[in-house]
A and B are shown apart, each in its own frame.
Chain A
Amino acid sequence: MKAYRYLIIGNGVAGICGAFNIRKLDREGEITIVTNENYPFYSRPLITDVMTGKKRAGEITLLPENEYKRYGFTLMKGVQVGKLALKERSVSTAEGRQQFDKLFIATGAVPKKIPFEGEGIFSVRTMEDAEKIRAYLPKVKQAIVFGGGPIGIKAAYALLTAGIPVNIIISSSQMLSRVLDERSSQYFRTLFEQNGARFFFNSDIKEIVRSKRGLKGVVTDKGEMVQGDMLIVGKGVSPDLDIVRDAGLRVDKGILVDDHMETNHKGVYAAGDVAQAKVITLAPRHSSASSIQHPASSIQHRASSIEHPASSIEHPASSIQYPVSSDRDVLPLWPVGAEQGKIAGQNMAGAKRAYSGGVGSNSIEYFGLKAVSMGITRDDGCEAALFEGDGVYRKFLFNEERLAGAVLLGDISDAGVLLHAIRNSLPVRNVLTSAVSRQHPASSIEHPASDSQFSTLRSQLSLEVLF
Chain B
Amino acid sequence: MREIFFIKDRCVGCGACKTACAAEHAKNHHLYDPLSSVPMGKKRRTDRYKQTPGDEVPHPVRCLHCDEPSCMEGCISGAIGKADRVYSRWDACVGCFMCVMNCPFGAVLPFLNKAVRCDQCLFTEKPACVRACPQNAIVYMESSEFAENEKKKRWRDRVQKEIPLLKAKA
A interface residues, Cβ below 8 angstroms from B? 17, 43-46, 49, 60, 62, 334-335, 338-339, 342, 361-363, 365, 368, 370, 372, 374, 412-417, 419-420, 445, 447-448, 451-456, 458-459, 461-463, 465-467
Contacts and interface: CB of A to CB of B under 8 A. Distances in A.
5 A-B pairs closest in CB distance: A455-B54, A420-B104, A416-B103, A335-B74, A338-B73
Contacts of B58: 455
Contact of B100 (A17, A413, A452, A458): A413
Interface of B is mostly: loop
B101 A361 contact: yes
Contact of B6 (A414, A458, A465, A467): A467
Nearest to B43: A448
Contacts, number: 126
Given A363-B100, A416-B105, 12 more contacts: A334-B74, A334-B98, A363-B98, A365-B95, A416-B102, A416-B103, A453-B54, A458-B52, A462-B104, A462-B105, A462-B106, A467-B8
A416 B59 contact: no
B73 A455 contact: no
A451 B108 CA distance: 14
15 contacts: A46-B77, A339-B70, A342-B73, A363-B100, A363-B101, A413-B100, A415-B97, A416-B108, A419-B102, A420-B104, A455-B52, A455-B53, A466-B64, A467-B5, A467-B8
Contacts of B108: 416
A458 B97 contact: no
B94 A448 contact: no
Contact of B73 (A17, A43, A461): A17
Nearest to B105: A462
Contacts of A448: 42, 45
B73 A467 contact: no
Contacts of B78: 43, 62
B102 A368 contact: no
A9 B106 CA distance: 35
Given A417-B105, A419-B104, A43 B76 contact: yes
B110 A370 contact: yes
B110 to A, nearest CB: 6
Interface band, chain B: 35 or more
Contacts of A454: 52, 106
Contacts of A49: 94
B106 A458 contact: yes
Most buried by B among A45, A420, A466: A466
A60 B92 CA distance: 10
B109 interface: yes
Given A365-B95, A466-B61, A459 B105 contact: no
Given A458-B52, A466-B59, A363 B97 contact: yes
A154 B8 CA distance: 44
Given A339-B73, A462-B105, A412 B100 contact: yes
Contacts of A339: 70, 73
A452 B45 contact: no
B73 A335 contact: yes
Interface of B: 5-8, 42, 45, 50, 52-56, 58-59, 61-62, 64, 68, 70, 73-74, 76-78, 94-98, 100-106, 108-110, 113
B101 A416 contact: yes
A244 B6 CA distance: 53
A45 B6 contact: no
Contacts of A453: 54
B30 to A, nearest CB: 24
A309 B90 CA distance: 56
B105 A465 contact: yes
Contacts of A17: 73
Contact of B97 (A46, A372, A459): A372
A463 B54 CA distance: 14
B138 to A, nearest CB: 11
Which of A374, A416, A445 has the largest count of B CB atoms less than 10 A from its CB?
A416
A45 B73 contact: no
Contacts of A419: 101-102, 104
A256 B89 CA distance: 37
B45 to A, nearest CB: 6
Nearest to A451: B52
B126 to A, nearest CB: 19
Contacts of A43: 76-78
A43 B74 CA distance: 11
Most buried by A among B8, B96, B106, B110: B106
A365 B96 contact: yes
B6 to A, nearest CB: 5
Nearest to B54: A455
Given A335-B102, A456-B54, A456-B55, A365 B97 contact: yes
